[in-house]
Structure 1
Amino acid sequence: MDIFNNFSDLFFSVWSKGIHGIDIFQILIGIGIFFIFLIFRGIISKVIIKRLESISKRTTNKLDDTFVHAMVGPARFLPIVLGFFIASYYMSFGEDGKVAIDTINRTLITIFIFWVIHQIVEPISYILSGLDKMLTRELIGWIIKSLKILIFILGLAAVLELWGIKIGPIIAGLGLFGVAVALGAQDLFKNLISGILVLVEKRFKIGDWILVEGTIEGIVEKIGFRSTVIRKFDKSLAIIPNFQFAENSVVNISETTNWRIRWSITLQYDTTVAQLKKVREEIENYINKSEDFSQSVGVAVRIEKFSDSSIDLLVRCFTASNSWSDSLLVKERLAIAIKEIVEGNKASFAFPSQSIYIEKK
């Protein structure tokens, strides 16, 4: 009987002392509370968040969709923070244990706060989209990314401070490391500054057709911190360092408002002066009366020069459309009209030729 009494006393002694002086019953209560909040976390994910997503999809504004999507992570993390805090509140810790648990609670709350701030930055991009006249969409994307990185660094510094890790010496060390990196990564910073200049000056944007003489021609797909991705017309992908766009002239073909046509119409030397004048006048009248051409830029149809085997008639005009494919149709119609005018006036086109004279002795 004494054996059972001793075992009973030992059992309740272990039960009361528990782990590190914490009653096992309190531990079980704490685990139960934390488990309840984990269940609540699942309810948030499957019910509340999905409900909010369905409500936000009914509106035409994308801001609420982005906000709900951004808050999914923090919303699922909040029950863990609350569960751990309430569970630890019902446990009796020693002095050392209280300090450690308090630090953990502060860490979880700090992570939650900075996570919320980090996620809120994304919906801000939709608010900034109204500044398209001042800032390009790509530059706004860079600003958002930079803010996210800054918030992450501040959050990490706050967590390290909670655990007694001084960030001052770390920052000083990073400063020295940064100087060393800067000396060895001058090209990286040159490309970064060039990329910022490209965005600030709005030289081009994603989707534009650009030409860098002697370097690249294609459609811009991505503007990064160091380089820009361009899809060439053969569908190959080119990654161009940003300094190329700062040091070379960039032609943004997508911004073309009037496509130029500059032709030299070659007529035979047996064309009479009357025919020349008639052909010139009819071509000029066709261009001036057609809606295919811009009259504000200027039209020139003039006899330009006497070439080796032809009389050259200059035709210079600009299309009214800013579309490249439309400009090809305009060129085609103009070419057909010129041929009809030349043939209608009994004139002929010249072609390169040489006359050979044989002298008889």
Structure 2
Amino acid sequence: MDQNTANWPSIVQNFRDAMNQWLITIDPNALALSAAALLVVFLLRKKISDWIIGGFEALLKRFSVSLTDEVASQLKIAVQVLAVTFALFLTLDAISPPDLLAGVLNQVLGSVALVAVFATWYQLSGPFVSLLVADRVGPAAKETSWVQRVSQFAILLFGLTSLLKVWQVDISGALAGVGVLGAGMAIATQDLIRNLVAGMTNMSEQRFKTGDAIQVEGQFVGTVQRIDLRSTLVVGFDQIPRYIPNSDLSNSVVLNYSERKHRRVKVVVPLVLSSTREQIEAVRDALRLHHQNSGDFHLDAEAAQYIFVNEIGPSSVNILIYVWTKDVDYDAYLQTKERLTLAVLQAVKSSGTELAYPTQTLKFFGDPPSKSPKTDLVE
């Protein structure tokens, strides 16, 4: 104990001597210049970040890509930290501290830069993941929350690994063990990984999202309730939940009814064969007038608008109505069909004809001639 106490004055003296030798070697002009540069960077850090991010946004606009305020704000914070850290690096190089102190300060500044980069990456994981399901950067959608959690875990893992490497912590043995463990887990969880990748593919292709009504391979129709790590929950119109593996959905033909802009109306109006040409044309013209003036139907040039006398059936003259509604809402669609049906009945009644129904006529041409039976005369 006494020996350790006796060594302290010599240790302190050696430290003082080393500091004095270092201070003598410092160039005052270089120190003043680096300090001034550091002060300027610190005071103008916000302006510098605005210039850098502004130039980055201008470059992205050439590729028709824009950043939201949230993304730009997070990037500006990271740029401010990195700018000040870079200025501190230059200051350390100018004053040339002792090797031990320089090494520690370089590691500290490197750690600060890494934390700034990975923290920004972590904060922006949500907006970046939302690119899988959106046309622009924005808040992560509900169905991408699990993808965001996985990406955040990966960011934390990579950030911690990089931070340990800066401090020269040897983790090669741990990484080798993790690699072997990861290979084993990849084999054991290959189905999970396949469904994970398939789920990300489904979202990146924007095939469907939560709340969409879809039809899977012509099997059933239901509403997407949730997209999870392994499967997608689809509730059929029979209110029975179905958990479909993402890989099955990725390899299936999926009809997304929620993405359509209009609903099709296809109706055949059968008139009796005894209808005159004037009566048939009157019904057709009345239906065309209802289609144009009712406000229920899509009238743009790209929409099909077919109301024609179509064919002569076995028991009727058929008028085809093939049009599209304005609204995709099912309740509005039913109301449109109701008004169209009433218009058909009114048009038929006003024209003086009738709707046909399947009939079959049998014609009898009389009984065949009777033949008298032959009789044998027996004497």
- State the TM-score bracket (shorter-chain normalisation): 0.5 to 0.7
Q: 2: CA distance between counterparts of 1:271 and 1:216?
A: 42
8 Å CA contact retained: 2:143, 2:228: no
Query: Which of 304, 308, 313 is matched with 1:302 structurally?
Result: 308
Q: Which residue of 2 aligns with 1:133?
A: 135
Q: Which residue of 1 aligns with 2:323?
A: 317
Give the length in aligned residue pairs: 253
Amino acid at match of 2:291: I
Q: Which residue of 1 aligns with 2:367?
A: 360
Q: Which residue of 2 aligns with 1:285?
A: 289
8 Å CA contact retained: 1:210, 1:253: yes
Q: 1: CA distance between counterparts of 2:180 and 2:308?
A: 69
Structure 2 gaps of 5+ residues are 1-69, 71-110, 369-379
8 Å CA contact retained: 2:122, 2:155: no
Q: 2: CA distance between counterparts of 1:249 and 1:209?
A: 14
Could you tell me the TM-score, scaled by structure 2's length?
A: 0.57
Q: Does 1:229 align with 2:226?
A: no
Q: 2: CA distance between counterparts of 1:346 and 1:257?
A: 37
- Residue 214 of structure 1 deviates from its aligned partner by 3.1
* 1:120-150 per-position Cα deviation (integer Å, ceiling 9, x unaligned): 9468637987994236725753552123212
- Residue 236 of structure 1 deviates from its aligned partner by 2.4
Q: Match of 1:203, SS? A: coil
Q: 2: CA distance between counterparts of 1:176 and 1:215?
A: 42
Q: 1: CA distance between counterparts of 2:321 and 2:256?
A: 25
8 Å CA contact retained: 1:121, 1:144: no
8 Å CA contact retained: 2:312, 2:318: yes
Amino acid at match of 2:367: K
8 Å CA contact retained: 1:213, 1:250: yes
Q: Match of 1:291, SS? A: coil
Higher mean C-alpha deviation, range 331-340 or range 285-294:
285-294
- Residue 244 of structure 1 deviates from its aligned partner by 2.6
Structure 1 gaps of 5+ residues are 1-62, 64-109
1:182-193 matches, cutoff 5 A: 182-183=186-187, 185-193=189-197
Query: Which of 325, 334, 345 is matched with 1:328 structurally?
Result: 334
1:128-207 matches, cutoff 5 A: 132-134=134-136, 137-138=141-142, 141-154=145-158, 167-183=171-187, 185-207=189-211
8 Å CA contact retained: 1:209, 1:220: yes
- Residue 197 of structure 1 deviates from its aligned partner by 1.4
Q: Which residue of 2 aligns with 1:101?
A: none
The 1:230/1:144 distance shift into structure 2, 3 A limit, reads same
1:40-51 matches, cutoff 5 A: none
The 1:127/1:245 distance shift into structure 2, 3 A limit, reads closer
* 1:26-45 per-position Cα deviation (integer Å, ceiling 9, x unaligned): xxxxxxxxxxxxxxxxxxxx
Q: 1: CA distance between counterparts of 2:163 and 2:129?
A: 30
Q: Match of 2:307, SS? A: strand
Amino acid at match of 2:264: R
8 Å CA contact retained: 1:122, 1:144: no
The 1:336/1:233 distance shift into structure 2, 3 A limit, reads same
8 Å CA contact retained: 1:138, 1:199: no
* 1:226-271 per-position Cα deviation (integer Å, ceiling 9, x unaligned): 2111222233221111123222222221222111001111111111
* 1:297-338 per-position Cα deviation (integer Å, ceiling 9, x unaligned): 131111222222222211011011132211111111011101
1:28-177 matches, cutoff 5 A: 121=122, 125=126, 132-134=134-136, 137-138=141-142, 141-154=145-158, 167-177=171-181
* 1:214-233 per-position Cα deviation (integer Å, ceiling 9, x unaligned): 34422212112221112222
8 Å CA contact retained: 1:139, 1:200: no
Q: Match of 2:323, SS? A: strand
Q: 2: CA distance between counterparts of 1:216 and 1:171?
A: 47
Higher mean C-alpha deviation, range 165-174 or range 211-220:
165-174
Q: 1: CA distance between counterparts of 2:281 and 2:367?
A: 40
Q: Does 1:342 align with 2:348?
A: yes
Query: Which of 266, 271, 276 is matched with 1:272 structurally?
Result: 276
The 1:123/1:247 distance shift into structure 2, 3 A limit, reads closer
Could you tell me the TM-score, scaled by structure 1's length?
A: 0.59
8 Å CA contact retained: 1:258, 1:319: yes
Q: Which residue of 1 aligns with 2:257?
A: 253
Q: Match of 1:277, SS? A: helix
Q: 2: CA distance between counterparts of 1:292 and 1:314?
A: 18
Q: 2: CA distance between counterparts of 1:225 and 1:295?
A: 43
Q: Match of 1:305, SS? A: strand
The 1:154/1:126 distance shift into structure 2, 3 A limit, reads closer
Q: 2: CA distance between counterparts of 1:127 and 1:192?
A: 17
